[in-house]
Structure 1
Amino acid sequence: MSGFAGRILVIGEALIDIVDRGGEPVRHVGGSPLNVAFGLARLGIATTFASEFGEDSDGAAIAAHLAAAGVTIARTADAIRPTSTALARIGEDGSATYDFDLQWTFSTPPAVAGISAVHIGSIGALRAPGSGGVLALVESLPEDVLVTFDPNVRPALMPPPAETRALVERYAARAAVVKLSDEDAAWLYPGAADSAAERLLMAGATLVAVTHGATGSVLHTASARLDVPARPTIAVDTIGAGDAYMSGLIAAIVQRVGVVDALAGRFTEEQLAAIGRIAAVSSGLTVARAGAMPPTAAELEAEHARA
């Protein structure tokens, strides 16, 4: 992929996934935006992650994990409280369900000078009290900053569907790129999930990606609809699959399309096919191994060349 000289700011929650596989809990660093930041850095993108976590052993694990990929950390709150956790129970099919112990305040917004793109998502974008500050920051960004957004719905931690839907569409008014799963669409638009992409495009997005698990994803623009097959793989677990799709999608957009054209919605059919394949490969490589461990640039390039 061609080079991208800018820096991406990712804003959102950091936590520890306590993964329970039949009564044997194992701790992994997690949080959807954290996974996206980690994935972007492993793909060679200069990345700053704005979040909040404690100075306990879990917080030290998060800091070390991010440092291993070269992610710069910007604290959005003090570190006096314990690091948030999510208990992930893994089913026989590899799927995960979650119970959270999490706080999100966003009391110290990060600096945005020199930032080319901002990614926001999930609990950090949609859970009060911090969500209000995140939305205000996004809406105050210069027009030439690319915004990407993944609601990554967690119903137990977010407002009711109607309130969350209004927030999602407000983010989409500024976010050029929105990614959501079919489950997100069904929860946000009950009885009308098929209209989710159209609603978000009408709100202001230029590209909406809807993922459908093992059956692939669909990319929507104002003038095109492209079905993207999933990469065939044997799933170890699905933790981080959607986040790896998102980091692959963002990297492919900034490197193959460019910030200016993405903001304007100028995607050729060839570009859409390429960024869709890259996102699918990134997700497929991640589900083939335990935990949220997205591919490196070399792994993604090699697998994409074979696809």
Structure 2
Amino acid sequence: MNAGALVVGEALIDEVLEGDRVSRHVGGSPANVALGLARLGVPTRLHTAIGADEDGQLIRTLLSDSGAALTEESVTDVSTSRATATLAVDGSASYEFTLSWDPRPLDDLGSPTVIHTGSLGAFLEPGNEISADIVRRGRGSGAIVTFDPNIRPSLIRDALTARSRFEALASSSHVTKLSDEDAEFLYPSRSIDFVLDALVDAGVAVVGITRGGHGARLASGAERVTVPPVVTSVADTVGAGDSFMSALIWALIFNGEGWDGQPIPQRRLERIGSIAASAASITVSRPGADLPKLDELIAGGTARA
């Protein structure tokens, strides 16, 4: 199997509002993960739905400059989607969306080591079925599946249906990463450890829950570890979870030891968690979803080439 990743999900333009200032960045959680993996040296393709317009060209250019490729089927006849992120004084972001998710089918998956999906691409109709089909076929051919729901409650019309789709994709994945906000939406009033246990019991080999400035919790088999946050000056939190996700995938699957999809021991769980937290800290230290390159992660001392 060729070493590389196929990422499935939305790519869009983030318009970030901070007081009177407006900045525009390429965004969309799956696009950010594709960007992050490519910057970490992983051959990466993104299957998405963007327009043949100025915004679509901005997305294509940034991904290409970072080493990520778009599938030919990704360019469609619809306009490229947008998300407006309004920043609070603490750097946290709230979102409003103008988007659609209707990607073309992808007949040839290639032979990726990893297939990643999540966010709007996993939940919004009609394209969610394309995402689910790619996951089914990819796992059937031996790919490691990773999943980040990255729930946007304002775009979820039916919470019960969304939870059902989450459970189906999570149980089909080897790695599932959530934020604490995702966990609260999907498992209301349940503790972080309850959610970790539930997903491990469902067959997920590695589970992560990020907790913003409080770090993260990881689980694998019977192991549970707390990942402390990396203290840094926060510009904004846009892309932090995607940076954690891409670095988690890299550290677990592409950095040295490789991985067979089975539960991992505590020390390795702690090590990959530290790498993922370091990547997220780099991203939050600068504006927009500007995910780190491999040399930046290595310079931080948590990763090795």
CA contact (8 A) 1:56 1:82 kept: yes
> Is the CA contact 1:277–1:304 (under 8 Å) kept in the aligned structure 2?
no
| Counterpart in the other structure of 1:165 | 163
Which residue of the partner structure matches residue 107 of structure 1?
104
CA drift at 1:138: 1.0
Q: What is the letter of the counterpart of residue 149 of structure 2?
A: P
Report what 2:277 is aligned to.
Answer: 280
1:111-138 Cα shifts (integer Å, max 9, x gaps)? 2222111000100011111111211221
Give distance in 1, aligned partners of 2:75 and 2:270: 43
SS of the residue corresponding to residue 44 of structure 1 reads: coil
Match of 2:294 in 1: 297
- 3-state secondary structure, aligned to 2:200: helix
Deviates more, 1:31-40 or 1:135-144: 135-144
Letter in 1 for 2:122: A
Matches within 5 A, 1:42-191: 42-76=39-73, 78-109=75-106, 111-141=108-138, 142=140, 144-191=142-189
Deviation per CA, 1:69-107, whole angstroms, max 9, x where unpaired? 111101445522111000000111101000001101123
Q: Give unmatched runs, 5+ long, in structure 2.
A: none
**Deviation for aligned residue 1:158:** 2.6
Please say if 1:258 is aligned against 2:258.
yes
Give how far 1:264 is off: 2.0
Contact 2:220 2:269 in 1 (8 A): no
Match of 1:202 in 2: 201
Paired position in structure 2 for 1:221: 220
**Distance change >3 Å, CA 196–CA 9, structure 1 → 2:** same
Question: Is the partner of 1:82 in helix, strand or coil?
Answer: coil
- Distance across 2 between alignment mates of 1:107 and 1:193: 39
Give the match's secondary structure for 1:259: coil
Matched, 1:234 2:233: yes
Work out the CA distance in 2 between the residues paired with 1:305 and 1:154. 31
**Quick check: 1:52–1:75 contact (8 Å CA) kept in 2?**
no
How many residue pairs get aligned? The number is: 301
Native 8 Å contact 2:12 2:80 kept in 1 = yes
Instruction: Name the Cα RMSD after superposition.
Output: 1.8
Give per-residue Cα distances to partners, 1:33-86, cap 9 Å, x unaligned: 000000000001110011111111111100000011111101445522111000
Structure 1 outlier segments of 4+, above 4 Å: 75-78
- Matched-pair identity in %: 39
Contact 1:89/1:96 (8 A) holds in 2: yes
Contact 1:149 1:178 in 2 (8 A): yes
SS in 1 for 2:268: helix
Q: For the structure 1 residues 301 and 107, does the alpha-carbon distance in structure 2 shift closer, same or farther, using more than 3 Å as the test?
A: same
Q: Offset of 1:5 from its aligned partner?
A: 6.4
Aligned to 1:271: 268
- Sort the Cα spacing of 1:160 and 1:277 in 2 relative to 1 into closer, same or farther, 3 A: same
Shift of 1:23: 2.6
Question: What is the CA deviation profile of residues 275-295 of structure 1, one whole-angstrom value per residue up to 9, with x for unaligned ones?
Answer: 000000000000000000111
Contact 1:88 1:98 in 2 (8 A): yes
Unaligned runs of 5+ in 1: none
TM (normalized to structure 2)? 0.94
151-160 or 50-59, larger mean C-alpha shift: 151-160
Q: Do the aligned residues in 2 keep the contact of 1:52 with 1:78 (CA within 8 Å)?
A: yes
Counterparts of 1:78 and 1:112, CA distance in 2: 17
1:5-47: CA deviation from partner (whole Å, max 9, x where unpaired): 6010011000000011113211111000000000000001110
State the shift of 1:139 in Å: 1.7
What SS is found at the alignment partner of 1:210?
Answer: strand
Letter in 2 for 1:221: S
Q: Distance in 2 between matches of 1:88 and 1:222?
A: 37
